[in-house]
A and B are shown apart, each in its own frame.
Chain A
Amino acid sequence: MIYADNAATTKVSKAALAAMLPCFEQIYGNPSSLYAFGQDAKEALEDARARIARCLNADPKEITFTSGGSEADNQALRTAAALGAKKGKKHIISTAFEHHAILHTLDALKKEGFEITLLDVHENGLVTAQQVAEAIRPDTALVTVMYANNEIGTIQPIAEIGAVCREKGVLFHTDAVQAAGHLPIDVKAQNIDMLSISGHKFHGPKGIGVLYAKKGIRLENLIYGGAQERNKRAGTENLPAIAGMAAALEESLAHLDETTAKLIRQRDQLIKGLAEIPHSILNGDAEHRLPSNVNFCFEAIEGESLLLLLDDKGICASSGSACTSGSLDPSHVLLAIGRPHEVAHGSLRLSLGEDITDAEIRYIIDAVKEVVDYLRNMSPVWRSLNEGRQQFVLP
């Protein structure tokens, strides 16, 4: 099996697993218990917090553990909304292709009286700091722009956007779920006020995430209860997952340069191979993109059937077609970069793992070519395009 869906989730690394196991059998005390056995767990918890803080160039006090990226996103937005509302600021700036954890929270805030501006992400899937600067108003409470897009992998100019926000005195949050462990993060140098990450996107376990919030930002609770996480996130800490996430993040960053170089070479080889398929297009900017991400649209076929046939060939991938999104519309990301519905249905996302081989890249290219060809041959749309009864959308 070739697992090429690492943007969905990743395999837990050996280092992460090794860090987790003792927390199940040996250091299983409750960090809130006062006896030494509980305090051992507390020590492990704070050790993990300090190591994660170091990975982000943050202070340990600025790290709050959450159940994952979605919770961190929700809490960041709720925090900024509450802070803004106190000063009568009820305007939030974001982008049209954020993760649903952001967009759906913004929908909820809109119903509560907030005004939302979603910036255009252009055909290349990039926003600019200038767009952000032009959208900021006196009543802007927050700018939230994702670091890297989960579907098309485009990397946003986070440091520049952060600088604009800092200059104008507006809070800046970034959903860095796809970036953490894959791109460098430095919350100070990048002018980031709040940032969300998720353990399972970089070979840590599922169900754990981090909300970084710059000192001085008073977090709004989503979950009330005990005094864990400085009263800002109740519930006994998931120490095994926290320890695993810390180990995974450190390990990913330790090999970041070499992994990045290897993956960019393989990614570009894959892009080159798939671009040979006629009437296809790469989604998202070719340069400002995650080293692991390849996303194409193929005209006149539908993504779910493509995925099922690739699965038969041992390739795990994903698509933004309506049939795979669980809704009736294709991916909001592909629509945001201007792909028409009929083309967005024929999308394929391959997100590579660090251990993928060149032979596997070649196998994927051949398999996708074969399957696209096969499906086109039974597609009435393909026939109609080739017989000139309708116009190709993709060159």
Chain B
Amino acid sequence: MALYSEKVMDHFRNPRNVGVIEDADGIGEVGNAKCGDIMKIYLKISGEQGSEVIDDVKFETFGCGSAIASSSMATELIAGKPLAEALTLTNKAVTEALDGLPAHKLHCSVLAEEAIKAAVKDYYDKNGIAYDPEQFREGDEPHCCSL
């Protein structure tokens, strides 16, 4: 009996989209080294404002197996997709795509959702694009240790 699903282990052992985009259009970093996980998402975006597409996505993660797998899966779910779609990605979708996570690891999928939203927000901010701040509300799920 393994700690994680086959899907989680596959994405942990062979993470998709690891790396950096030097001229990224949006960068999102969430988490805290003190808590033991940091995720950083880089987005390359093209297309007219309002109908942008994610051309490329990369991630860097400091964290446990499920944090790495959640980042990998989240990037796979949004690669090549319209930017608007990336904003609708939920931690639940990431968890389901991984065939589930142990209860105490669900915060990793929350971090993945937040990292992607932070990268999109960064792109909007850099380009002066107006957005509804409600879309970037932080999740309710606690994801940090007692500092």
> Contact check: which of B20, B35, B65, B145 meets A305 at CB < 8 Å?
B65
Q: How far is the CB of B68 from chain A (nearest CB, A)?
A: 6
Q: How far is the CB of A32 from chain B (nearest CB, A)?
A: 39
The answer to whether A302 and B36 have CB atoms under 8 Å apart is yes
Q: Name the interface residues of B17-38: CB closer than 8 Å to any CB of A.
A: 18, 20, 29, 33-38
Cα-based distance from A200 to B15 in the complex (angstroms): 38
> Contact check: which of B60, B105, B145 meets A380 at CB < 8 Å?
B60
Q: How far is the CB of A313 from chain B (nearest CB, A)?
A: 11
- As a 0/1 sequence over residues 1 to 26 of chain B, the CB contacts with chain A under 8 angstroms (1 = contact) are 00100000100110100101000000
Q: Name the interface residues of A361-381: CB closer than 8 Å to any CB of B.
A: 378-381
> Contact check: which of B13, B33, B36, B64 meets A312 at CB < 8 Å?
B13
The answer to whether B64 and A379 have CB atoms under 8 Å apart is no
With contacts A305-B65, A341-B145 known, is A383 near B104, CB below 8 A? no
Q: How far is the CB of A84 from chain B (nearest CB, A)?
A: 32
Q: How far is the CB of B7 from chain A (nearest CB, A)?
A: 14
Q: Name the interface residues of A304-320: CB closer than 8 Å to any CB of B.
A: 304-305, 308-309, 312
Contacts of B40 in A (CB 8 A): 380
Contacts of A303 in B (CB 8 A): 64
With contacts A328-B145, A329-B146 known, is A379 near B62, CB below 8 A? yes
In the assembled complex, A301 has its CB within 8 A of some CB on chain B: yes
The answer to whether B20 and A302 have CB atoms under 8 Å apart is no
The answer to whether B29 and A326 have CB atoms under 8 Å apart is no
Contacts of B65 in A (CB 8 A): 304-305, 308, 323
> Contact check: which of B60, B63, B144 meets A383 at CB < 8 Å?
B60
Q: Name the interface residues of B46-65: CB closer than 8 Å to any CB of A.
A: 60-65
The interface centre, meaning the residue of B33, B34, B67, B145 with most chain A CB atoms within 10 A of its CB, is B33
Interface residues on B, range: 20 to 34
Q: How far is the CB of A5 from chain B (nearest CB, A)?
A: 15
In the assembled complex, B147 has its CB within 8 A of some CB on chain A: yes
The answer to whether B145 and A378 have CB atoms under 8 Å apart is no
Contacts of A380 in B (CB 8 A): 29, 38-40, 60-62
The answer to whether B38 and A304 have CB atoms under 8 Å apart is no
The answer to whether A305 and B60 have CB atoms under 8 Å apart is no
In the assembled complex, A3 has its CB within 8 A of some CB on chain B: no
With contacts A323-B36, A328-B145, A342-B33 known, is A302 near B63, CB below 8 A? yes
In the assembled complex, A382 has its CB within 8 A of some CB on chain B: yes
The answer to whether A302 and B60 have CB atoms under 8 Å apart is no
- As a 0/1 sequence over residues 316 to 341 of chain A, the CB contacts with chain B under 8 angstroms (1 = contact) are 00000111001011100000000011
In the assembled complex, A345 has its CB within 8 A of some CB on chain B: yes
With contacts A305-B12, A322-B145 known, is A381 near B36, CB below 8 A? no
> Contact check: which of B3, B64, B104, B105 meets A302 at CB < 8 Å?
B64
In the assembled complex, A106 has its CB within 8 A of some CB on chain B: no
The interface centre, meaning the residue of B18, B63, B104 with most chain A CB atoms within 10 A of its CB, is B63
The interface centre, meaning the residue of B15, B40, B62, B63 with most chain A CB atoms within 10 A of its CB, is B62
Contacts of B35 in A (CB 8 A): 322, 328, 341
Cα-based distance from A269 to B146 in the complex (angstroms): 37
Q: How far is the CB of A381 from chain B (nearest CB, A)?
A: 5
Cα-based distance from A340 to B36 in the complex (angstroms): 11
Cα-based distance from A209 to B36 in the complex (angstroms): 35
The answer to whether A378 and B13 have CB atoms under 8 Å apart is no
In the assembled complex, A300 has its CB within 8 A of some CB on chain B: yes
Using a CB–CB cutoff of 8 Å, the interface residues on chain B facing chain A are: 3, 9, 12-13, 15, 18, 20, 29, 33-40, 60-65, 67-68, 104-105, 144-147
Q: Given A305-B67, A341-B33, A380-B29, 12 other A-B contacts at CB below 8 A?
A: A302-B67, A304-B64, A308-B12, A322-B35, A323-B36, A323-B63, A328-B144, A342-B34, A342-B36, A378-B60, A381-B33, A383-B20
A-B contact pairs, 12 of them (CB 8 A): A302-B36, A305-B67, A308-B12, A323-B63, A323-B65, A330-B145, A341-B35, A341-B147, A380-B39, A380-B60, A380-B61, A381-B33
